[in-house]
Structure 1
Amino acid sequence: MAETVAERMEVGVRRPHSALVGWTAALVSACAFGTAGAFAKPLLASGWSPGAVVAVRLGLAAIVLLIPGLMALRGRWQLLLSQWRPLLAYGVFGGATAQVAFFNAVQYVPVGLALLMEYLAILLVVAWVAVRSRRLPSRLTLIGTVVAIAGLVVVLDPTGMVGLDLRGIAWGSLAACGLAVYFVISARPMELPPLTFVGVGLAVGTVTILIAGAVGLMPMQASFVDVVFVGLTLPWWAPLVVLALVAAATAYALGFVGVQYLGSTVASFVGLTEVLFAVAWAWLLLGELPGLLQLVGGVIMLAGVAAVQRGQTD
């Protein structure tokens, strides 16, 4: 069987064009994911629960991607059956668990700490790749791991957090597991077209979140009143459309492509830039100016990501 793109990336066989495609897709995906907080904030302020926002966001994205995705199958429906396991894992863990767990975590701990816990997924990815390949990461990869996490801690600035609730730590750990599965599953060799896989996966994730809401794991409340965003009064559905098309459909589709080209290890570190993009979007759209400490942390993070990329290449 011929090597897949992701397999070549994980073992260090890279081509300049492939790396460019992978980095471009992964960075644009992180940028798109980073818009979620800015566009979700006015909905949450108007009475929407996080669970309802996520369910609509993933559901609309699934509908958008399923149309071209199912057309790309060209009647090869048996592929869906043959790929049901990765589809289920992608939807349940990558599409639903990470988000459900994260929004539950922020009910008990500060958002910064919840983000920090979720992005510890990169350690799980590095460990998984080491176990699967039966060899330890290079020294440069390990150094880059430490540097990137240190930069993330600086950006999120979790200092001074007191009275931490263990329930928040537990939910944050579960979010990390879900995010790690997202990267690992996305790097697998795939017979399905990317849009088909992501569209069906997000549909599975939507159903999972609705079930989680039904059993009380996450409140499901919606408010159909106008929202205020960047000084404008908009209908409630406007930010939802942006969340679905940009922060879900575009982000997940390009994220899948990025992992396929870069492999799960490098892609998971590139995914850290979502935090930087989220800070930048909050500054541009909400006027929440990042501090000097966050900018310094961002530079440290990028240095760590570059070291990991270099370590995977050597």
Structure 2
Amino acid sequence: MATLTHDTASRMRSGLAFALASATSFGLSGPLARGLMDAGWSAAAVVAARVLLAGVVLLPLALPQLRGNWKLLRANATLILAYGAIAVAGTQLAYFNAVAHMTVGAALLIEFTAPIAVVGWLWVRYRQRPGAATVAGAALGIAGLLLVLDVVSGLSVEAVGVVWALASMVGAATYFVLSAHGTDLPGTVLAAGGLLIGGVILLVAGAAGIVPLRAATGQVAFADFTTPWWVPILLIGIVTAAIAYVTGIAATRRLGSRLASFVALTEVLAALLFAWALLGEAPRPVQLLGGALILGGVIIVRLGEPEAVPVGDPEAQAVADDGATAPPSPS
């Protein structure tokens, strides 16, 4: 049996660091978006501003990485379009619409069943049956998620909200699957292209009257302070989108879709802590216990991932990285 190489261990450590950075960055988006929507912004306008700003910020970094290789861009056009339409625009718009019809906790609970969808997809598509550790870690993570979202206190659910939340779950699962593909395409290029395409899709949908695009230039109020509207817009675009997507792609390409999706459950805990700081929503002890269970579930899933990778075997490396031999881009 081959042993775990130094390079593989280093790749795993950096992947986990990127995944936690991405989850923390994404976790800040909810409280910032809530402040903007309370100040008069529509959900679609927040998402459009967020992804377009992030795409513009990443573009100067992405173009030099292409080195004029436009053929590479054309070869991954389907991946970039799918990433922008589903993983970026679709997921965020579906989530914010879900929140408009149900509590944030209920919407998050449904969206963050995405890791189960990822495991199911890898099982069906690549015949990668989840091991006992993955199943146990998933159960522990979902139990922790239920506690973090404090479902015992009751959740307000509407049918239309459930449909939107399920759509956001599909989009989130698609994000993890697509992020692991196209490894010949620099992650910053994929993120910038997807964000810009997602933003354009939202603008077109707004111009056609499909979604409301409404912005406001007044002060945005949080728990203990108010700020000009452009401050949360800059943060939600640069930190919770540009940084979050780039680190998320880097994490998924190092950890694979399955493990990265479970580490992303820590976003819920991050969102809880940011909501405490910005919105004054203090977490209950049961929610902190839930956060510990989520982390425990992630560790168990990590222990269940393949450790040994034969050196110089690209196919085995692909299996270890993604739990399956994946094609370079979706077809």
1:134 to 1:213, Cα distance in 2 relative to 1, 3 A: same
- Superposition pairs of residues 1-314 of structure 1, within 5 angstroms: 15-159=8-152, 161=154, 164-229=157-222, 231-313=224-306
Q: Is the 8 A contact 1:109 1:165 kept in 2?
A: yes
Partner of 1:6: none
- The DSSP-based 3-state class of the residue aligned with 1:35 is helix
Q: Is the 8 A contact 1:32 1:250 kept in 2?
A: yes
1:171 to 1:14, Cα distance in 2 relative to 1, 3 A: farther
State the alpha-carbon separation in 2 of the partners of residues 216 and 303 from structure 1: 45
Once the 2 structures are TM-superposed, how far is the Cα of residue 60 of structure 1 from its aligned partner? Answer: 0.3
Partner of 1:10: none
Q: Is the 8 A contact 1:36 1:247 kept in 2?
A: yes
**Per-residue deviation, residues 145-196 of structure 1 (Å, max 9, x unmatched):** 1111111111112345467322111111111110111000001142221111
1:262 to 1:164, Cα distance in 2 relative to 1, 3 A: same
Q: Is the 8 A contact 1:88 1:204 kept in 2?
A: yes
- For structure 2, the 5+ residue unaligned runs are 1-5, 308-331
Higher relative contact order (CA 8 A, sep 6+): 1
State the alpha-carbon separation in 1 of the partners of residues 27 and 156 from structure 2: 28
Q: Is the 8 A contact 1:14 1:313 kept in 2?
A: no
**Per-residue deviation, residues 58-93 of structure 1 (Å, max 9, x unmatched):** 000000001110121111111111101111111111
Partner of 1:7: none
Q: Is the 8 A contact 2:101 2:161 kept in 1?
A: yes
- For structure 1, the 5+ residue unaligned runs are 1-12
- The DSSP-based 3-state class of the residue aligned with 1:106 is helix
- The DSSP-based 3-state class of the residue aligned with 1:135 is coil
1:76 to 1:163, Cα distance in 2 relative to 1, 3 A: closer
What is the root-mean-square deviation of aligned Cα atoms in Å?
1.9
Superposition TM-score, scaled by structure 2 size:
0.87
Once the 2 structures are TM-superposed, how far is the Cα of residue 284 of structure 1 from its aligned partner? Answer: 2.5
1:75 to 1:306, Cα distance in 2 relative to 1, 3 A: same
Aligned partner letter, 1:259: T
State the alpha-carbon separation in 2 of the partners of residues 229 and 156 from structure 1: 21
Identity percentage of aligned residues: 42
Aligned partner letter, 2:64: M
- The DSSP-based 3-state class of the residue aligned with 2:305 is helix
State the alpha-carbon separation in 2 of the partners of residues 299 and 217 from structure 1: 41
State the alpha-carbon separation in 1 of the partners of residues 235 and 156 from structure 2: 36
Q: Is the 8 A contact 1:124 1:180 kept in 2?
A: yes
1:306 to 1:237, Cα distance in 2 relative to 1, 3 A: same
Partner of 2:323: none
